[in-house]
Chains A and B, each alone.
Chain A
């Protein structure tokens, strides 16, 4: 067992001139070899040491995915320090919480935006203007901010600021003065040191910081690659935040232990085209990425001419049949096999290519449940999508589908070296070498999560099906019971709803005394917007668009369609389309886009109560804060749509949206 910097050093010796990282800059993929990667890490490590970073400290990185992120991470680890990733969209309180909890002294920030946030935070702290929780949190200790995108920072004179390349240059000088010093630092590192600190997604409370050691992560990488081999020739595109365990898992842990080439897209807006240019072999994304890909295909097929629509429709049917056999480990017969080849050539491969999935061998979804319909869609178009189940506390993965046994409602079986147990209450417990060291500076919370025997209490309810595959119902406290005693998960219904290309998020509630379910829905402005354009429906803002009667009718049809797949007792009876989308800045959704039910329950209590009572409309107050600090309060009337007597309008002019649903 070794550490990440040691793995990097080994790769730099074994394959010095092969490409380790590549970043698209100025329109060109700029490669960095393993040897220059290693050299930059060593320089930066010396530079960090000159800024006072030493064993046991935590360095924070705040920025989008760039080579500098990984250089900073590995440099900190070389010194025996750990790195904590912060979501680049994090603001004030969140940022402060992480920085103070981890006693961070050195922050590596991307650009002017991040530097401004940090400087403001520091100024507030020195002025004693801490917004909230000043008493609970330790003081802010940030001494140095290192930035790697200098644009706009030329005129900043704050003494705590350092340019990334300057730190590297200082490190290079230092390295010349004390040869061998860094190697001795490296030798002192052990696999049990903290490698990274990952923020837990915190759907329930403020993010906690999970400490993961080199040994934890490398054990996970070894066990995952034992199931699904990853080789040095595989390509990987890194576009999800490194603060998320899933990205660390593949890009860092599997990347360094197997020597993958990591590619960084040019810009958030070019991710899709860059993904297509690289054509990754392996991918891991949360459900929202897969859902948005599905929406894109649905909308584009719907807008295509009849020839393309029917070709795809036929190809999809064939693909779906073959996928149904393949996931059970069977092979199609002669006729179906031949049809599949044709279908793949004319309909399925082009779609995969458009999505950038043409070369995918395996891809994973994780972090939140993905609807079985979305799953089925990707298998039908020939994408080997598999579910990963795991928490940050177990390095992100404990259970995964096997290639020939993919059931769309399960999450698969444990990876090697992982034990799984279901308690009598139905809670899932996990134990493996990848179970984390504990929460940073919160031993009492750690003790609640990991018991004396090393079992990780996941807080999720689940069971094993006949084939021995794990089925996860939901967070144990979110599991609901119908009047007749069936246990079910609201996520199951919500995923049915979210299969519609128009519905972005849905939160369902048990409908009080009347039985049945009610739902709070937000829409995808892109797909609904393009639908509205086709309908020659004019609108100004999101709020205006979703309040239109036509849009309500559209959504009603979609909800009705979802209801057809649901048992009678848990059908949606009433829904309301919310006047705004959920926003992580409003705490309604986490940075990884998981809905925070507790916040929703509290904030929209009036709407939920009105849904329960079956009122025709509900009034909400919405406070808009402009950037200059002024606020405007508006009252909005939201309509509650009652589906109890709903019938799909006959002879409706709208073309049926093509979809993968049976």
Chain B
């Protein structure tokens, strides 16, 4: 192959840019008597980096867990729009099991790293392709015929993700032996290997130093710009959020208190009070 352009598209959404991709309608999630989310509604647009921010315990991760099927909200609906190729063009996610949601193209990373520490980077990334693999146990074990061809094809895509995220030097290193920042990058990579329609990132920069954060922001922008993937991002670092997001939703005690462009949100009195403190001291 002469060209150095990537041969695989990492974005599997058939929705046109600017159209709604994920709609959250009046979602309410309760644990016993505690309301984690109350009547939260917003829309994620195809082609955006959409940030969800809020103080600790505001319900950000709960919202992501609802979207990826780990929690099932008591009320409300979460609707994912897909292109025509996946059958129906919109799917109700609230009652689906996590693996079915993953098949619809919703990929995510976790706040705490959830990788297989003793597997190599490559093996972890190949696991991201697992939902796209279909061959029998026997054929896989024997590394034979279609199983072999299929795995080679999947490796091609994985290698492009490795190239995009500059993980070449760590390809055969056990994930557990790598620096924290690199592990976070591997987690982003594994989510990309699913070829997502929507990428949910739960605090991809938590616990990083300034330099690692800058790198990570760069990679998220690359994923967004080069691969065209829509990203929903939970992040604490306001500077990062304001720099890279197209749209920001703010949660406080389970309620949506603002939703808009970074500039609109920055100016909203409710946000300043909830997030930065009443006096705006932060």
Chain A interface (Cβ < 8 Å from any Cβ of B): 26-27, 40, 148-152, 154, 163, 165, 168, 266-267, 269-270, 273
Contacts and interface: CB of A to CB of B under 8 A. Distances in A.
Nearest to B163: A26
Contact of B168 (A150, A163, A267): A267
B169 interface: yes
Contacts of A149: 4
Contact of A27 (B5, B166, B171, B225): B171
B226 A27 contact: no
B169 A26 contact: no
Contacts of B162: 26-27
A157 to B, nearest CB: 15
B2 interface: yes
B281 interface: no
B61 to A, nearest CB: 31
14 contacts: A26-B159, A27-B171, A148-B4, A149-B4, A150-B5, A151-B226, A152-B222, A152-B225, A152-B226, A168-B2, A267-B168, A269-B168, A269-B169, A273-B169
Contacts of B169: 267, 269-270, 273
Closest 5 pairs (CB-CB, A-B): A26-B159, A269-B169, A267-B168, A165-B3, A149-B4
Contacts of B2: 40, 165, 168
Nearest to A168: B2
Nearest to A273: B169
Interface string B222-248: 100110000000000000000000000
Contacts of A266: 168
A27 B168 contact: yes
Contacts of A26: 156, 159-160, 162-163
B184 to A, nearest CB: 17
B166 A267 contact: yes
Given A26-B163, A150-B3, 14 more contacts: A26-B162, A27-B122, A27-B171, A40-B2, A152-B225, A152-B226, A154-B226, A163-B3, A165-B2, A168-B2, A266-B168, A269-B166, A269-B169, A273-B169
Nearest to B122: A27
A121 to B, nearest CB: 23
A270 B169 CA distance: 5
B253 interface: no
Contacts of B71: none
Nearest to A111: B4
Contacts of A273: 169
B219 interface: no
B6 interface: yes
Nearest to B168: A267
A150 B4 contact: yes
B152 to A, nearest CB: 10
Contacts of B171: 27
Most chain A beta-carbon neighbours within 10 Å: one of B5, B122, B168, B169: B168
Interface residues of B, number: 19
A344 B156 CA distance: 41
Contacts of B122: 27
Most chain A beta-carbon neighbours within 10 Å: one of B3, B4, B166, B171: B4
Contact of B5 (A40, A151, A168, A269): A151
B19 to A, nearest CB: 20
Nearest to B169: A269
Interface in B113-132: 122
Contacts of B166: 267, 269
Contacts of A40: 2
Interface string B1-15: 011111000000000
A165 B3 CA distance: 6
A151 B4 CA distance: 8
B1 to A, nearest CB: 8
A273 B170 CA distance: 11
Nearest to A147: B4
B167 to A, nearest CB: 10
A269 B225 CA distance: 24
A220 to B, nearest CB: 32
Contacts of B6: 151
A273 B168 CA distance: 11
Contacts of B225: 152
B146 to A, nearest CB: 21
B244 to A, nearest CB: 15
A40 B1 CA distance: 12
Contacts of A165: 2-3
B105 to A, nearest CB: 22
A20 to B, nearest CB: 15
Contacts of A148: 4
A269 B179 CA distance: 15
Contacts of B226: 151-152, 154
Contacts of A168: 2
A40 B2 CA distance: 10
A493 B111 CA distance: 53
A221 to B, nearest CB: 29
A230 to B, nearest CB: 29
A152 B221 CA distance: 11
B18 to A, nearest CB: 16
B258 to A, nearest CB: 27
Contacts of A163: 3
Nearest to A267: B168
A165 B163 CA distance: 20
Nearest to B156: A26
Contacts of B159: 26-27
Contacts of B4: 148-151
B168 A270 contact: yes
Interface string B133-170: 00000000000000000000000100110111010110
Nearest to B225: A152
A93 B262 CA distance: 37
Interface in B1-60: 2-6
B122 to A, nearest CB: 8
Contacts of B160: 26
Nearest to B157: A26
Contacts of B3: 150, 163, 165
B281 to A, nearest CB: 23
Nearest to B160: A26
Interface string B80-119: 0000000000000000000000000000000000000000
Nearest to B214: A627
A511 B118 CA distance: 56
A476 to B, nearest CB: 43
Interface string B180-210: 0000000000000000000000000000000
Nearest to A627: B214
Nearest to A166: B3
A269 B178 CA distance: 15
A40 B3 CA distance: 12
B138 to A, nearest CB: 27
A446 to B, nearest CB: 39
A330 B275 CA distance: 78
Nearest to A67: B2
A465 B129 CA distance: 66
A168 B2 CA distance: 10
Contacts of A267: 166, 168-169
A273 B171 CA distance: 11
A266 B122 CA distance: 16
A115 B277 CA distance: 44
Nearest to B228: A154
A533 B147 CA distance: 47
A154 B222 CA distance: 12
B240 to A, nearest CB: 15
A165 B225 CA distance: 22
A270 B166 CA distance: 11
